[in-house]
């Protein structure tokens, strides 16, 4: 037997050992980043019978979880206490324990910098932390949304600084077992599986959302798919990490482009004196060929406002202009300016100026009934209102305080939504249509209501106070 053959069989056994540990629920799973993606993922694996450790650099999150408390609205303390009581989940800020994990899943932020270029600093620093503890036979999966090529071009080289190697070798999803047997065997396994969380959506919990999996080689694909099959109802294997990375971008750019289209239609309908919401409702009656998208004050959340710019940045490497995608991004990014302009014009018609006016913003989360303010258009609107000389407060039943953020630092607390409070403002701006808000009261007691979400459509009284933007 040649040295190569001997090494091949020895390295193949690493995959067999990992598969055995996964299938028997003996594998230890580590999740780095305990935010809106990492925490529910950790709880899912812990609830599926895996010894799970969550890693985070924020000691406040670690302490909260240690007390059985939740800092994310749609995740109950009981869900945390259940797995903690079973001793299947723990949280820590000590990354030296990464070497004990059989599978490590990376769920860290991938924001844009001030020039709208990808900021992979969190991914790179996390990969370096993993490389420092990397051992043979471990599976590493990146879940952070990013451009095609990140797993192979950024994460893989950093991990291989450990001295271990994971050759990038093409494979076929139709002949995965054959390719896994024939390909050079890796020292560790590396894959990409895009997160698909929809916070606050009770119809699609983490386990019910199909998991797309792509890897840098066949053995990595086999082990990664086995890991996710053990906790998710369905997996969808693709032929590379690049294909998996592109899948997530396509999903979100599809939404971005269609939202941009309907936002542009809204602007045109305003000028033509047509109700865009009536038009959308009527078009939705068609049972085929039409899927409704709705206008708003801009895009929010960590994915849809950011993903298009990740792809347009990467496309420049291939000298490919993504004009359609860039235009959609420009339209959606302009919506907060349109809203502020509309508020100024509405005040002007009432012989008031935006400068010096008091404006109450209803809802600062990026979508209704969640507490997530990441990339929320309401924050940009508040900033623009302040730049124009307005005094700004906010009410959000799910966000009690707006502390220091990456881009903003308002230092505000949510005000109570009462008749007395509403009467104090020159304009009440509905930026997020939370179900808990009493819009009947808002219209009745406010002097002016600027509605960007059609939240007041069912209010029949005081319609003269309402301006839809």
The residues that are catalytic are 303
Q: Is residue 457 helix, strand or coil?
A: coil
Nearest to 168 by CA among 143, 194, 192: 192
Spatial contact of 297 and 340, defined as CB atoms under 8 Å apart? no
Can you read off the two tokens belonging to residue 236? 């969808």
Spatial contact of 291 and 358, defined as CB atoms under 8 Å apart? no
List, in sequence order, every residue forming a beta bridge with 139; answer none if it has no partner.
103, 189
* Distance, CA of 106 to CA of 195 (rounded, Å): 10
Spatial contact of 102 and 18, defined as CB atoms under 8 Å apart? yes
Spatial contact of 434 and 368, defined as CB atoms under 8 Å apart? yes
Q: Is residue 343 helix, strand or coil?
A: helix
| Terminal Cα distance for the chain, rounded | 75
* Distance, CA of 149 to CA of 162 (rounded, Å): 21
Can you read off the two tokens belonging to residue 49? 């019978």
Determine phi and psi for 189, rounding to 5 degrees. -120, 140
The radius of gyration of the chain from alpha carbons, rounded to an integer in Å, stands at 25
């Amino acid at each position: 037997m040649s040295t190569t053959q001997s090494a091949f069989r020895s390295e193949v056994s690493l995959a067999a050992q990992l598969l055995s540990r996964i299938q028997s629920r003996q594998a230890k799973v580590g999740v780095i980043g305990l935010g809106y993606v990492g925490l529910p993922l950790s709880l899912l694996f812990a609830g599926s019978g895996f010894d799970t450790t969550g890693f985070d650099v924020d000691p406040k999150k670690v302490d909260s979880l240690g007390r059985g408390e939740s800092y994310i609205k749609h995740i109950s303390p009981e869900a945390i206490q259940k797995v903690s009581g079973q001793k299947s989940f723990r949280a820590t800020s000590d990354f030296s324990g990464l070497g004990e994990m059989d599978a490590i899943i990376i769920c860290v932020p991938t924001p844009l910098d001030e020039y709208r270029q990808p900021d992979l600093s969190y991914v790179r620093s996390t990969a370096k932390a993993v490389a420092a503890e990397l051992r043979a036979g471990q599976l590493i999966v990146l879940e952070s949304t990013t451009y095609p090529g990140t797993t192979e071009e950024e994460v893989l080289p950093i991990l291989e600084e450990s001295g271990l190697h994971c050759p990038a070798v093409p494979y076929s999803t139709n002949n995965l077992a054959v390719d896994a047997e024939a390909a050079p065997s890796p020292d560790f396994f590396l894959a990409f599986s895009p997160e698909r969380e929809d916070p606050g959506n009770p119809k699609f919990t983490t386990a019910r959302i199909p998991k797309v999996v792509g890897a840098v080689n066949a053995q990595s694909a086999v082990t990664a798919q086995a890991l996710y099959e053990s906790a998710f109802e369905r997996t969808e294997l693709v032929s590379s990490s690049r294909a998996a990375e592109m899948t997530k971008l396509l999903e979100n750019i599809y939404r971005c482009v269609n939202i941009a289209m309907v936002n542009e239609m809204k602007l045109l309908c305003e000028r033509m004196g047509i109700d865009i919401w009536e038009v959308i409702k009527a078009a939705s009656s068609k049972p085929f060929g039409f899927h409704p998208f709705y206008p708003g004050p801009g895009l929010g959340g960590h994915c849809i406002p950011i993903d298009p710019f990740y792809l347009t940045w990467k496309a420049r490497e291939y000298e490919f202009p993504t004009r359609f995608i860039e235009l959609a991004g420009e339209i959606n990014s302009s919506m907060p300016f349109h809203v502020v302009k509309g508020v100024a014009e509405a005040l002007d018609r009432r012989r008031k100026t935006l400068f010096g006016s008091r404006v109450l913003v209803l809802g600062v989360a990026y979508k209704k009934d969640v507490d997530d303010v990441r990339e929320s258009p309401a924050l940009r609107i508040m900033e623009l209102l302040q730049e124009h000389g307005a005094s700004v407060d906010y009410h959000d039943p799910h966000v009690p305080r707006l502390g220091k953020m990456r881009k903003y630092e308002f230092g505000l607390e949510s005000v109570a939504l009462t008749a007395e409070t509403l009467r104090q403002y020159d304009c009440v701006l509905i930026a997020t249509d939370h179900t808990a808000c009493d819009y009947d009261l808002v219209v009745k007691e406010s002097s002016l209501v600027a509605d960007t979400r059609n939240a007041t459509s069912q209010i029949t009284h005081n319609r003269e106070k309402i301006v839809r933007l």
